[in-house]
Amino acid sequence: MIQDFFTPISAEVLSYEETSKEMLGRQLVKHTDELGFPDLENVNLAFFDVREERGAVGNQGTGIGADEIRKQLYQLYGGNWDLSMVDLGSIQPGNQLKDTYFAVQETVDFLLKNNVLPIIIGGGQDLIYANYRGYNQLDQAVNLAVASPKFSFGDIQDELNSNSYLSKIILEQPCNLFNYANLGYQTYYNSQEEISLIENLSFEAYRVGALKNISIVEPVMRDADIVAIDMGVVRCGEAPANGNANPNGLYGDDLCAIARYAGISDKVTSFGIYEYNKLFDVNHQTSKLISQVIWYFIEGYSLRTKDYPYGSKDSYLKYLVPFENEVISFYQSDKSQRWWMQVDIPTQSKYKRHVLVPCSYDDYLNTIEQKVPERWFNVHRKIS
């Protein structure tokens, strides 16, 4: 069982008094010395942190700050949520870095198979690799969405770390990655070769300036299985607690909006926040922001409507749009009013989960004008 990987929540955090039963600290079932490891039956969300920083390039100290986030999170008032949530405690660093990856992978695998959504607090963002490997046994292609100023390809010969994890995900077998989407990259931190590679692999990347209209993130989140946040994506004036903090980046409310979209997405099955470093956390500013990001994810999760792929599209409104030599089918949910566009694939394809591509109403209108969204072409290229 996965409890062997975990140590209980510290006495210091438990002594951090919550004053109201409506606060999250009172609503979470916690892993403590007294109560032991929580029962995971019928649990919706499971928090845990990973105290691993050996793979965090330029951000030593990122493995020791999760309790600061807990202190802030426990003080927030919950919403009108009917959810069962647990805090599993901490995964301590293994003897070797690969041992920590194994513990994270096995934990994610166990939680997914028991229909529990893990919320992971890092640690370095190289842990995204371990999170991704937790999907190995599900026999499905997965979509990864990462908010980060860098793509983290690194060099092929580099060891696995926070600057190279994406190359390892793409190149190492088994490769279960169907799509990678970057949110908030900054051009001067990524080589032209890397930017071209994103395009050649039919991946998605949205510059930080494009996210001024944060609603464009919604279809991306609706198509993701794994959502990960590198706190370096937020400008240092909003979130200084990162050894690689940047003067430019997203605002805090943008990150909260991304988290809410991720929570609402019926497809998202794991969520992680990485690269927080308490050594640089002025007035607890960043730990407060992260706690609010988690709050918005929970809020979104509580609003899930069981849309596609978990609900049938048979009752959806269907619209047919001629384009060149074919017809593209659009669907609108009768429950959430959200939109999808269909990519035709062979019935036996392992990519069945990706046949409907999330989109917006504007995408539908643009297709009528023969301006088909790039996301449709990306999926079409991958499966044709």
- Residue 49 CA from chain centroid, whole number: 15
Joined tokens for residue 49? 């942190």
Element (H, E) at 320: strand 317-323
Joined tokens for residue 156? 């092929």
Mean of pLDDT values over 73-91: 96
- Residue 236 CA from chain centroid, whole number: 21
Residues 152, 291 share a domain: yes
Measured distance between the N- and C-terminal CA atoms of the chain, rounded to whole angstroms = 41
The boundaries of the domain holding residue 362 are: 317-383
Q: How far is CA 288 from CA 21, 299, 303, in A?
A: 20, 16, 23
Residues 134, 59 share a domain: yes
Residues 193, 123 share a domain: yes
pLDDT digits (tens, 9 = 90+) for 83-101: 999 999 999 999 999 999 9
* Among candidate residues 146, 247, 233, 151, the one with its CA nearest the CA of residue 192: 151
Q: Is 348 domain-assigned?
A: yes
- Residue 174 CA from chain centroid, whole number: 21
Residues 325, 294 share a domain: no
Q: Tokens 């919604």 sit at which residue?
A: 218
Give me the pLDDT at residue 162, please: 97
Residues 324, 199 share a domain: no
Q: Distance (Å, rounded) from C-alpha 304 to C-alpha 260?
A: 11
pLDDT digits (tens, 9 = 90+) for 96-134: 999 999 999 999 999 999 999 999 999 999 999 999 999
Note the pTM of the prediction, 2 decimals: 0.95
Q: How far is CA 366 from CA 126, 227, 228, 289, 326, in A?
A: 38, 28, 30, 36, 16
Domain CATH code at residue 203: 3.40.800.10
Give me the pLDDT at residue 311, please: 65
Q: Is 360 domain-assigned?
A: yes
Residues 330, 218 share a domain: no
Give me the pLDDT at residue 349, please: 57
Inform me whether the pLDDT recorded for 309 exceeds 70: no
Number of structural domains found in the chain? 2
